[in-house]
Chain A
Amino acid sequence: MQSNMRATHCLVGLFIIALWSLAAHAEVSVEIERQWQQEQFAHMLPITRDYRNEQYGFGVPMLSGVEAYGNEPPNPNHGVVYLLGYQRTISVSAVYDAAEYGSTKSQLDHWLATEHPDTITRSPTVLAGKPAEQAVLRTGNTVIKVVVRRRNEGNGILYELTLTTTATDQAKDNALFDLVLAGFKTFKLPR
């Protein structure tokens, strides 16, 4: 009888320890996520309406239920980042081709030169009706999909759309990325 009670106490004790450990782990995860978000978006402001960038002549829609952020003024306005979750984002941006890459292919070559993934899959694609290049990079559980396109007006503009996600969330995040790609529009540049 006594040994049965001791065994029950032991089990209850183990259960309490397991619960405590789970709660502590969840608390640490929340804190890590909070810190990551704070660092990533420290100098950014929320965007609530469909995004339109006059300077670089492009725009993208907002996604229902997804927060989006842009650079905080007076910093330059280069694009928008959608927050999908912890370490999961979509960024849409543009810069002048001041580095003189000269082509979409060269733009992607330079983009990939700084990355060291386990695997890269590269293929041609279309962005807003014009030829573009895409690559999918996998490193461990991290998946990055990038679509680039050089606009050949003036000295050139480099458009860059990047999905950063995990293998686990790839399917649902890819669906959102497809919506952004489909909604990406270019406009006449201001002159």
Chain B
Amino acid sequence: MVKFITACHADKKDFFESIVPLVRPMAARLNVDEDLLLALVAFEDSWGQDEHNKALHNIFGITHAGGNNIAFPTYEACVEFWERNYGAKVRGIRTLEDFITAMKKIGYNSVNKSYYDTFRAVYQSVLKYKLACNAK
């Protein structure tokens, strides 16, 4: 049997080092599997590589009424905003499919047909790279 080992790329290492400390406390407070939140950040923030979002401290792609992404003073403020707006709707969710059901109910993205299928793939990538990067 061939075993594929994923390498831990530098951008993924940076992602876990910077995002896990931000997301983990919220995941604990909400009793949500933190990997689901990490997958959402990876998807909306291109694994923390989006320079524009970096300047806005906006890791969840949160928007203004006009459609552009909101600027937060800090990453913590962005996480706090997300928890305040979405926390009650995802509280206690531990599985990928339950999370997707909740996100659909919220209408997190009602525009593209393949969003949640791609989200499943991003979630698998998070699990894969978390292991490869030995992110704890």
Measuring CB to CB, which residues of chain A are less than 8 angstroms from any residue of chain B?
40-44, 53-55, 70-81, 91-100, 110-111, 114, 154-155, 158, 160, 162, 164, 189-191
Contact = CB atoms under 8 A, between A and B. Distances in A.
Contacts of B134: none
A77 B69 contact: yes
A76 B47 contact: no
B62 A98 contact: no
A162 B113 contact: yes
Q: How large is the interface on B (under 10, 10 to 19, 20 to 34, 35 or more residues)?
A: 35 or more
B57 to A, nearest CB: 14
A77 B118 CA distance: 16
Contacts of A191: 51-52
B121 A99 contact: yes
Contacts of B111: 44, 70-71, 78-81, 91-93
Q: Which 7 A-B pairs have the closest CB atoms?
A: A43-B107, A76-B61, A93-B112, A99-B121, A96-B46, A190-B52, A79-B111
B5 interface: no
Contact of B63 (A77, A111, A164): A77
Interface of B: 11, 42-47, 49-52, 60-65, 67-70, 81, 85, 106-115, 117-118, 121-122, 125
Contacts of A54: 68
Nearest to A113: B117
B65 A96 contact: no
B68 A43 contact: no
Given A73-B67, A99-B121, A100-B125, A43 B52 contact: no
Nearest to B115: A95
B46 A75 contact: no
A76 B109 contact: yes
A73 B43 contact: no
A154 B67 contact: no
A77 B50 contact: no
A72 B63 CA distance: 9
A190 B55 CA distance: 10
